Structure 1
Amino acid sequence: MELIDMKNIVVIYCHPYDQSFTHAVLTQVMNNLTEQNNHPQLIDLYNEHFNPTYDKEELRLFHEGKTHDPLVTKYLKMLRQADGIIFITPIWWNSIPGMLKGFIDKVMKEGKGLSHTVTKTGVKGELTNLSHAYVFTTSTSPTFYLKLFCGNAIKKVFINHTLKQLGISSGKWINLGGITNSSADKRQRHLKACREMTFNF
């Protein structure tokens, strides 16, 4: 019998409402990962009451690569042991929500063996174990509008710069734009695509 190499995939979900379309995307992606013989590990930022803001002590400890928030320790350990990463989030005001930005700010600690180190030539990513990232989003604005008129923040900043600086060399953005006025058929087709997508980690 051929042994299947099961991948540990961290799924970071950022939405406060479990009846949202974003949550429906989460359900399809989690089911998809399991069916593809992966091992998905969910980080539900709102449900786990993650605090995305710094206090004085947390900021002081940042410079030592430390934290006093147990969720930060837990999340960074999960990322260090994973083979891939998936973000599932709405787009608010043309970029990622503050909760997810706070996750990047607090969890990504500087130091060897953490998420990144700072060198004379810039930031060197330590999360090279995360071979690829997928970013699933929904937006009120059409996708073309985000790309052409709003700076294309998810692709150009979040994937091509922030994630690359952390050591994640490549990423794919999947967005359902114009969701407010989208038809039921369009939404169902998007969910079907999320369920049937082949992930490459």
Structure 2
Amino acid sequence: MTTTMIIDHPWKESFNHSVLAQLIEGLEADQKIYQVIDLNQDGFNPVMCEAELAGYQKGLVLDPLVLHYMNLLRDTTQLVLIFPVWWYSSPASLKGFLDKVLLNEFAFFDGGNGIQPLLSMDSVVVFTTSDQTTESLDQRCTRSYKHQLTTTLADIGLKNISWHHLGNLKRLSEKERSSYLESVYSKL
């Protein structure tokens, strides 16, 4: 079983990176196999250019980093996504990752009769943060990023998707933050 963690946050001192560090600590303590995709550290370009779009339906890849990510996902049985919610959505790099990596004939097959999933992962765990309260975000995002991401992941064959959001981040005490971090590994 290989866990692949994808983090999309540009600041290494972010709470999202603290979540990642806590997960790594737990996985290493349990001697589990894992890999990390840090979209910002990798310099991933989320913008799909015209040439990439032209090859999209054929599953053609022009970016070597996309090929690398595809190879990592082939061995993945558990996917973990870690990102902040900005403007009621994920940061651009994660959206670009979905657009450029989850290609036809890799993540799904669309021969004109609807999407057929090609990936199979036992579970997906999503960790998100925001400065808004979770309740406020849920009211504003009912059909937005959360629904779209969950639907996309299910459409390509990913199962058991759980979502863990920590809102009101700026107003939390150090004790509340530490308590949350202590609980993240148990959510895998």
Instruction: Give the structure 2 partner of residue 115 of structure 1.
Output: 107
Instruction: Give the structure 2 partner of residue 194 of structure 1.
Output: 184
Instruction: Give the structure 2 partner of residue 177 of structure 1.
Output: 167
Higher deviation after alignment, 35-44 or 102-111: 35-44
Q: Tell me the TM-score normalized by structure 1.
A: 0.88
Q: Distance in 2 between matches of 1:150 and 1:47?
A: 29
Are 2:26 and 1:32 aligned?
A: yes
Per-residue deviation, 1:34: 2.1
Q: Distance in 1 between matches of 2:183 and 2:26?
A: 10
Instruction: Give the structure 1 partner of residue 144 of structure 2.
Output: 153
Query: How do 1:135-154 and structure 2 match up within 5 A?
Result: 135-151=126-142, 153-154=144-145
What are the ranges of 5 or more consecutive residues in structure 1 without an aligned counterpart? 1-6
Query: How do 1:9-20 and structure 2 match up within 5 A?
Result: 9-20=3-14
Deviating beyond 3 angstroms after TM superposition, the runs of 4 or more aligned structure 1 residues are 152-155
Q: Which amino acid aligns with 1:73?
A: L
Query: How do 1:42-191 and structure 2 match up within 5 A?
Result: 42-111=36-105, 114-128=106-120, 130-151=121-142, 153-159=144-150, 161-191=151-181
Instruction: Give the structure 2 partner of residue 41 of structure 1.
Output: 35
SS of equivalent residue, structure 2 residue 90? coil
Q: Distance in 2 between matches of 1:122 and 1:139?
A: 35
| Amino-acid identity (%) | 32
Give CA-to-partner distance per residue, 1:143-185, whole Å, 9 cap, x none: 11222232263542212x0100111022111111000111111
Count of residue pairs the alignment pairs up? 188
Q: Distance in 2 between matches of 1:198 and 1:94?
A: 23
What are the ranges of 5 or more consecutive residues in structure 2 without an aligned counterpart? none
Per-residue deviation, 1:121: 4.5
SS of equivalent residue, structure 2 residue 6? strand
Shift of the 182–69 alpha-carbon distance from structure 1 to 2, 3 Å rule, reads same
Q: CA RMSD in A?
A: 1.5
Q: Tell me the TM-score normalized by structure 2.
A: 0.94
Q: Distance in 2 between matches of 1:115 and 1:186?
A: 38
Q: Distance in 1 between matches of 2:64 and 2:112?
A: 31
